[in-house]
Structure 1
């Protein structure tokens, strides 16, 4: 399949690109000239690179028309860090740019739109979440993701395109950004630092990034898959047990600062995906949490120099 992939230089995007190429798809990636493509540097000679900004997609229109994608996997998003969750750019840049991209690809004959949503669309549900759970986002990030989900669904109906939307819960793995909990913890412990933590009582659903990419590509190639799909492992573990497992894979003697960080007033204590819809189309996670964490620790151990302060 001829696939236009946005967000290819990012964490999830880099794994998705590898998966697509392994399956024999023909891929074009969108990349700003200022981007650092370190995650996919060795793959660029196997793809078509469209230079421009996906959030001003008119800069890409000519290249998209020449490539003529059959499908789009839209992963790019500005402002995924916690500090940016209520930035107004969530609304004013992500949503209009994505809608314009959809219009442009629809006019080239594209038939499949696969978008990446977020568990933030549900808000702090504090329960096992199915696709039928009420959506009640509490951040501009979650509101914008939900708005784009609904708008692109309607536009896909208008243009006669297949619409699929995967609401990602929590992902982890090698090459992640260092400000998320798991890489922060690993890097702190590798530096022999004592990480400051909450009590760790939260129950969290973590999915290995290779499985995230596998699910995205599974939905792409399962052309009968339409609508919203929750994307997680389907299991929840206490953060304390996850943290202790990571510590024990580095050095069992290292101290952990449990309880040194208070819970936020809006702290979500139970985040878990019901992945029944994905299982129904033949997908399930392949990587256990223990296996994935070991691989992640070893990657950061070998690549610690990238994050030296």
Structure 2
């Protein structure tokens, strides 16, 4: 199968591409310099020339609370444009199967836990990442609408918080797990006695290793149409992908401190925003289809830290 992976340089897209190659698929990729997904004409020419059998849309502008608060216009504009260009031009080129990768932030801030797929559009979004969430919701509805009108087979998966090799460890624009891993690493290196963490430490988060996310995504992509449609609905076609368990930020911080070897004090700055208090995904639909994650948080953090030491341990400029 010839598969175009949009976003192959990202953590998830890169792992999906590696797993596709490992199983023998013909993987097509382009860097942003080679193909700007914000350029509709360029995407149209690419799709018409390559004619992939399937498209995996893993490209996105992503970041944590600080990045979302600082660049809200870029987050909503760039993600909307990429989704519209890739989905529409895939359809125009005759691509019948597409997999869109979303995010758990699509769900309402006060959604019942664990969060079911039918919680979508039932309440107010978390304000700190609303522009990104709105763009991802639009991507889901874009896929659903093309399926309804044109009979395409465009699917969406909604991952929980992801981490692993290839993650972004930027000081300000990274998500909580890689940000804490880097902070504790530098605290050990610099001999610090204290590490201060934003928020109260009480919010709960679920974390899924990128290798599990890639495997789960390909599992959904590979499902025959009958099986997929039997477990979804034309108006509710997205599927949650998660680990099924969550931890508090306090528990996460102590786990990472233990892995890294930090023995000082961990303090929380409750004057900083917590974000959503809990986000645990209901993964019963995916489990019913036959897939479940296998990499534990402790195992995954240890593997990620080894990767960090090999690739970014001396990082100072970001």
TM range (shorter): 0.7 to 0.9
Q: 1:288 maps to which residue? A: 296
The one-character-per-residue Cα deviations of 1:168-201 (angstroms, maximum 9, x if unpaired) are 2201112211122222222222222443213322
Q: CA deviation at 1:92?
A: 3.3
The one-character-per-residue Cα deviations of 1:84-139 (angstroms, maximum 9, x if unpaired) are 43622344332244223222222222111110111111131352101112423341
CA–CA separation in structure 2 for the residues paired with 1:220 and 1:298: 30
**Structure 1 residues 85 and 25, CA, compared in 2 at 3 Å: closer, same or farther?**
same
Q: 1:199 maps to which residue? A: 200
**Structure 1 residues 97 and 244, CA, compared in 2 at 3 Å: closer, same or farther?**
closer
**Structure 1 residues 241 and 10, CA, compared in 2 at 3 Å: closer, same or farther?**
same
**Structure 1 residues 95 and 260, CA, compared in 2 at 3 Å: closer, same or farther?**
closer
Q: Are residues 1:6 and 2:10 paired? A: no
**Which of residues 108, 111, 114 is equivalent to 1:128?**
114
Q: 2:271 maps to which residue? A: 262
**Which of residues 253, 261, 268 is equivalent to 1:243?**
253
* Equivalent residues, number: 290
Q: 2:74 maps to which residue? A: 89
CA–CA separation in structure 2 for the residues paired with 1:141 and 1:252: 34
Q: 2:312 maps to which residue? A: 304
Q: CA deviation at 1:21?
A: 0.9
State the superposition RMSD in angstroms: 2.0
> Which secondary structure state, in structure 2, belongs to the residue aligned with residue 8 of structure 1?
coil
TM-score (norm 2): 0.84
TM-score (norm 1): 0.87
Q: CA deviation at 1:62?
A: 2.8
- In structure 1, runs of 5+ residues without a counterpart are 34-50
1:1-309 equivalences in 2 (<5 Å): 1-33=1-33, 51-85=34-68, 87-125=72-110, 127-135=113-121, 136=123, 137-138=125-126, 139-178=130-169, 179-191=174-186, 192=188, 193=192, 194-197=194-197, 198-224=199-225, 225-226=228-229, 227-257=237-267, 259-264=268-273, 267-305=275-313, 307-309=315-317
> Which secondary structure state, in structure 2, belongs to the residue aligned with residue 9 of structure 1?
coil
CA–CA separation in structure 1 for the residues paired with 2:120 and 2:148: 23
> Which secondary structure state, in structure 1, belongs to the residue aligned with residue 255 of structure 2?
helix
> Which secondary structure state, in structure 1, belongs to the residue aligned with residue 280 of structure 2?
strand
**Structure 1 residues 220 and 250, CA, compared in 2 at 3 Å: closer, same or farther?**
same
